[in-house]
Amino acid sequence: MRTQPKQNEAAVAGLVSMVVLAVGLVVTAADVPMAWVVWPLGYGVVLPLAIGYAKRRRREPRESRARGEPDRLAEAKRRYVDGDIDEAEFERAVETAMQREGSA
């Protein structure tokens, strides 16, 4: 189950690639001046930025924990998805996180 985050990045890369391809083909077929700019900007700028954003979104709970702001619910979800804890432990962790949120 540890491949899920990579699948998310691959999905973002696939989606952005398809959009760049579609836009590039449309502007080229429409004979738009300087249509060639779509290709280097799309694949050289937009695609790396989108993949970086997907990676950053995946790391946010860990970074907030490193700053001393524990996100117990996000951590429990990540551990459950990674297979580190079973369903019963996940439910206990969620219950504990909800109780701590309510008392804060």
pLDDT at res. 1:
44
For residues 41 and 64, which has the higher predicted lDDT (pLDDT)? 41
Q: Does 19 have pLDDT greater than 70?
A: yes
What residue segments make up the domains of the chain, in order of their start?
A: 1-59, 70-104
Sign of the alpha-carbon torsion through 14, 17, 21, 22: positive
Place 12 in a pLDDT band, splitting at 50, 70 and 90.
Answer: very high
- Which tens digits make up the pLDDT trace of 77-100? 888 888 888 989 888 888 887 777
pTM passes above 0.75 = no
Which residue pairs from 28-34 have beta carbons closer than 8 angstroms and sit at least 24 positions apart in sequence?
Answer: none
Query: For residue 77, what are its two tokens?
Result: 């979800």
